[in-house]
Amino acid sequence: MSDIVFKNEIPAALAQKLAAQFGEETSEKLLAAFGRERPVTFRVNRLKADAARVERGLSDISLRRAAFYEDAFIAEGASEREFEETALYQEGGIYLQSLSSMLPPLFVAPEAGESILDMTAAPGGKTTQLAALSGGSALITACERDRFRFERLKYNVEKQGAGRVTLLNEDARSLSPYFRFDKILLDAPCSGSGIISPSHSVKWSEKLLFKCVSLQRALLKKAYELLKPGGTLVYSTCSILREENEEAVASLKGVRLIPLAPPAGVPLLPSLQGTLCVAPDGLFEGFFVAKLKKP
């Protein structure tokens, strides 16, 4: 698909919002980035494999590593189907995941024995990454409202060998107020303004944005309630719009922002100091991450 045809599919209201937030020049680059396909990227699942096993199991595919995370690989010129046919994939030794989507669990930094809530978890890329990062030793609760997506989450948690994960098929806003967690990841449902590409049909609309903004604030408020004092909350979206990001974080009163160090080689857009807004390009999806601490 040519860039011109693709650009015509971007809703005018979204193009205007991007220009107002980032300026005309940057917003033109963002629109051009939406017209690019990204290579397949994946994460080694340390619960089942290691880098040496990846190199043996995928010796026919040309791979390179991402600079910010030793478990992240980039496969230029290979299709998802090629991966799905490998034994390594079928055994759960790797998980196909966008690079940007691997960032939030790194900032959660789960440790053995900690109680961690993954509040909106399906299909489970980040739940299984949290489990792997803790060596299978964190006590993870993964919640998902949608029944069909919940089944996908359950399948992935089992396939990736993520033990000590409790699965809840409910609306996270209704979780018992008696729960308390050391750490929470809220990878919130969003308008998807960061992940537009020729193979993702454009679902963005002002109506969807409005709905997401209200849901994100309600989920953030609930996350704050469920955190132990001194606990940390990582908030992320696959949107680059400030309504869903900085303004959502600012809606939560009484928390302290923990500044995030920019990860190596990750392209960034301007965002509130201490937060990260990943710029969509030929490799990364647009994404936002912020880390908050409850006093």
For ligand SAM, the binding residues (CB under 6 A) are 101, 120-126, 143-146, 149, 171-173, 187, 189, 215
65's enclosing H/E stretch is strand 64-65
Q: How many angstroms separate the CA atoms of 15 and 287, rounded?
A: 17
Q: Which is nearer to ligand SAM, 6 or 219 (CB)?
A: 219
- The nearest distance, CB 124 to ligand SAM, in angstroms, is 5
- The nearest distance, CB 125 to ligand SAM, in angstroms, is 4
Measured at CB, which residue is nearest to ligand SAM?
Answer: 120
Cα 157-133-161 angle, rounded to 5 deg: 25
Q: How far is CA 295 from CA 175, 187, 195, in A?
A: 22, 22, 33
Q: Which is nearer to ligand SAM, 27 or 134 (CB)?
A: 134
- The nearest distance, CB 263 to ligand SAM, in angstroms, is 17
Active-site choice (143, 212, 238, 277): 238
Is 238 a catalytic site residue?
yes
Q: Which is nearer to ligand SAM, 27 or 101 (CB)?
A: 101
Q: Strand 165-168 to strand 139-143: parallel, antiparallel, or no bridges (unpaired)? A: parallel
CB proximity list for 183: less than 8 A, separation 6 or greater? 108, 110, 114, 115, 116, 117, 231, 232, 233, 234
Q: Which is nearer to ligand SAM, 186 or 292 (CB)?
A: 186
Q: How does 97-128 read in b/e, with b if 16+ C-beta sit within 10 Å?
A: bbbbbbbbbbbbebeeebbbbbbbbbbbbbbb
Catalytic residues: 238
